[in-house]
Amino acid sequence: MTAGDFDKYIQIRRDLHQIPEPGFEEFKTQRYLLDYIAGLPQDRLEVRTWRTGILVLIRGTAPKRRFGYRTDMDGLPIAEDTGYEFKSRHPGYMHACGHDLHMSIALGIVTHFVREAMTDDLVVLFQPAEEGPGGALPMLQSEELADWMPDQMVGLHIAPEYPVGTIATRPGILFANTSELFIDLTGTGGHAAYPHRANDMVVAGSQLVGQLQTIVARNINPLDAAVITIGKVESGTKQNIIAETARLEGTIRTLSAETMTVIKSRIEALLRGIEAGFECKAEVDYGSNYRQVFNEAGLTGEFMDWLDGRRDVQLVECSEAMTGEDFGYLLERIPGFMFWLGVDTPYGLHHAKFEPKEEAIGMAIRVMTDYFTWKSQS
Ligand SMILES: CC(=O)N[C@@H](CCC[C@H](N)C(=O)O)C(=O)O
């Protein structure tokens, strides 16, 4: 592939960047991807859709194995604040987690192997709803994937903190276990001047936010990493009305499944305390839960050794991160690994000013196509 070809994938990323959509509503994104794939030589290609996702099988010349590669597709509810000319055209939505780059890289991989067939088969999964409620598990369980199940799975995620050219990964756990967290408090609303006749859920909710932060600080071994973040609080309608309800929305992250259980039981204990203390009702819903991303040691070690010989890659053996990824479900069933791809930007994932360096797209396509070709020959 030439540098000119890589420019095409930058344009694709920019097109996709303009149409970020919520999980399982990636209709325009799916249409864009299907139109692109329809324009490729079709002789080795089979395409299936599953909800808003796509599965692409590229038949090898004499397949003995089936490799798998996965990209996510959805955007985030963030009002974009970049300086891009190709800003999101969907108000309040943005590709702020790199899924536009991920998809463009996946199209580059598909394009390469329909033109230059490898011996083995390759299945490329365009998976919806990574940010929630999670597309990986139902896609894994789908009829569409059942007879195309790969023997090995690879995925990447862009990393703002590393320079372009860097690949960071590790054998074992890479990303945390996650659980969403939705708490609803219900009390009694009323006039702001008569607090004694009401039961104020702004006060109960505020106390609860503080109490939740004591779980990681006071109930979890400091050597066992865990996070509770409340990212959204909703309560009240007007400054002189006592709020009847409060809703807290957040996420829990842990490096072990046991710690997740401990945190959930502590949350429930605190909710019983809030109910007793504020004479209100407290309900919790854990939304979607993702398994840890656990890199299979043999394949990850082999990939890292292979990368070590490349002059265009700076390999980093990184620490675990408290990010989550439903790719963990794929790795629970199929051996494989995920890695971070450096995109060098001062603003982190999920930030409105997030501007990843696009040169990483070509680099990732080159590394992944070389890797699958090498694996297919080994
Ligand atoms: C890579 C990344 O940023 N992934 C998300 C996954 C979110 C899972 C779920 N909706 C939750 O919030 O728990 C992340 O926030 O780590």
Position 309 scores a pLDDT of 82
- Secondary structure element (H or E) that encloses residue 216, with its range: helix 201-219
Domains and CATH numbers, the chain: 3-175+292-377 (3.40.630.10), 177-289 (3.30.70.360)
Q: Which residue has the higher pLDDT, 247 or 1?
A: 247
Mean pLDDT of the region 231-248: 98
CA 361 from centroid of its chain's CA atoms: 18
Q: Which of 72, 73, 95, 131 to mutate to test the pocket of ligand 1 (most atoms within 8 A of CB)?
A: 131
Polymer length of the chain:
378
Please state, in angstroms and as integers, the Cα–Cα distance from residue 304 to each residue in 13, 44, 168, 367, 371, following that order: 27, 30, 9, 12, 11
Beta carbons within 8 Å of 330's beta carbon, 6+ residues apart: 68, 70, 136, 140, 153, 155, 336
- Percent of the chain whose pLDDT exceeds 90: 98
Q: What is the mean pLDDT of residues 191-215?
A: 97
Q: What is this structure's pTM? A: 0.93
**Which ligand 1 atom sits closest to the C-alpha of 290?**
8
Check residue 5 and give its pLDDT.
74
Ligand 1 centre distance from Cα of residue 135 (Å): 12
Is residue 99 pLDDT above 70, yes or no?
yes
Question: What's residue 6's pLDDT?
Answer: 82
ipTM of the complex as predicted: 0.96
- At 1 the pLDDT is 61
Q: Which helix (H) or strand (E) holds 99?
A: helix 99-115
Question: Is the separation of the CB atoms in 128 and 73 below 8 Å?
Answer: yes
Helix/strand/coil for 360 = helix
Does 129 score more than 80 pLDDT?
Answer: yes
Is the per-residue pLDDT at 274 higher than 90?
yes
Which residue, by CA, sits nearest to atom 4 of ligand 1?
324
* C-alpha of residue 136 to centroid of ligand 1, in Å: 13
Please report which confidence band the pLDDT of residue 2 belongs to, taking 50, 70 and 90 as the band edges: low
Active site residues: 72, 131
pLDDT per position as a tens digit, 326-336:
999 999 999 99
Question: How close is the Cα of 237 to the center of ligand 1, in Å?
Answer: 29
Which atom of ligand 1 is nearest to 324's Cα? 16
Q: Is the predicted pLDDT of residue 362 greater than 70, yes or no?
A: yes
Distance 239 CA to ligand 1 centre (A): 33
* Tens-digit pLDDT profile for residues 16-26: 999 999 999 99
pLDDT > 60? residue 161: yes
> What does the pLDDT average to over 143-170?
98
> Does the pLDDT value for residue 174 go beyond 90?
yes
Residue 247, exposed/middle/buried by CB under 10 A (0-12, 13-18, 19+)? middle
pLDDT at residue 75, rounded to an integer: 98
Alpha-carbon 208 to chain mean position: 28
Q: How many other C-beta atoms can be found within 10 angstroms of the C-beta atom of residue 246?
A: 25
Q: Given this model, what pLDDT does residue 3 score?
A: 53
Pocket of ligand 1 (CB under 6 A): 97, 131-132, 157, 178, 180, 251, 288, 290, 323-325, 349
**Segment 98-107 mean pLDDT:** 98
